[in-house]
Structure 1
Amino acid sequence: MIAIIDYDAGNLTSVARALAHLGHAYRITRESGEILQADRVIFPGVGAAASAMESLKNYGLDTVLHQVMDAGMPLLGICLGTQIITGFSEEGDVPCLGLIPGRVRAFPASMKDDADRALKIPHMGWNRVQVKRVHPVLWDIRGEDAFYFVHGYYPEPENPDHVLATTPYGIEFVSAMGFGNLVATQFHPEKSGKPGLKLLDNFCRWGGEV
């Protein structure tokens, strides 16, 4: 069973629908016992880092996520769930979970495209993902595959070895990272059609080893 963590940060239904489509059993939960007894954990989310961290602490889920990590259970962060697994977010200047060394940065306000036109923030829509490091969760993801993004901030891991993929949008930012039994994507695989479903299915079959 796959536990989808409910911490009042939304985006749970689309993740659940994607898992159901793939035929994987899941449960949306904030109960620590259910999460720790799951085979895998998905940590999605949309919204702001500060309110998300407050909710996690109120439910005791900050501790549970550290236990999941320490137990070697496969863990997938998505969007906001990717950002707040780092140690600090510039969105609200808030300390975060620190599951992976790094921080979250805001997109520069002055970003421009190749034609010198100002780029809109947040970065919203489809964009390509360039795989930088082979990983089981990214198996069969190709350079022409596009994924769906909605974000004004992006993760910046301290260790370059933790970068799994990058995406261009004014700058080249980290769009997927991994560390041990943890994988995280800034894009939304559950909203990204066949490539996103492939990535989710890879995660649901991954044992947590690299």
Structure 2
Amino acid sequence: MALIRVRQHVNPLSNKYQGIPALPDWGTLYPQPEQPLHLDIGSAKGHFLRQMATHYPDWNFLGLEIRAPLVDYCLRQRDEAGQHNLHFLFCNANTSLQPLLASLPPATLQRVSIQFPDPWFKKRHQKRRVVQPELVACLAAVLPSGGDIVLQSDVLDVAVDMSDRFAEHPGFYQTPESWLPTSPFPAQTDREEVTLGKGLPVYRAIFVKK
């Protein structure tokens, strides 16, 4: 299937992305909605989640993506593969995460991944980065004790910035306290595959809910 061309960078602070999408009916979205849920914020083309959904049929997977054409693409790919434990939503995580998480079946969210987000290098643009204190607080309010957050980036400054935001919140602790040498997942994002293929480093951290 050909992937239509989409913008690489989308400003999450634009008025265009401030609306709250319709909340799904979780009871009908997944055949087994009570299964543990892995939330991937910024799922892009869905390469990572499609692999994960195959590896772990006893988990449900949800990808959030701000670029609507990519969400449509991912849903078509999911349907063609018949992956019933996988869904994607068009969503601006910086504005819609709180109502979305509040609507989840109780105690189902167990893991969150934020991988290779837009770095927004310029200082004046860093307020557009996805990991902000408000997002961390939303996750802390819903994630149960022992639930984890996996962060990955090939940009050291972005990895440090994300880790700092979670370290500042009293509800999380990092383990181990240094960068992970390898991914905790049996799947990779397409960006991760390209980065590792070039012999470049990936900076990874795990934070656990206290």
Q: TM-score, normalised by structure 1?
A: 0.37
Give 1 or 2: higher helix fraction: 2
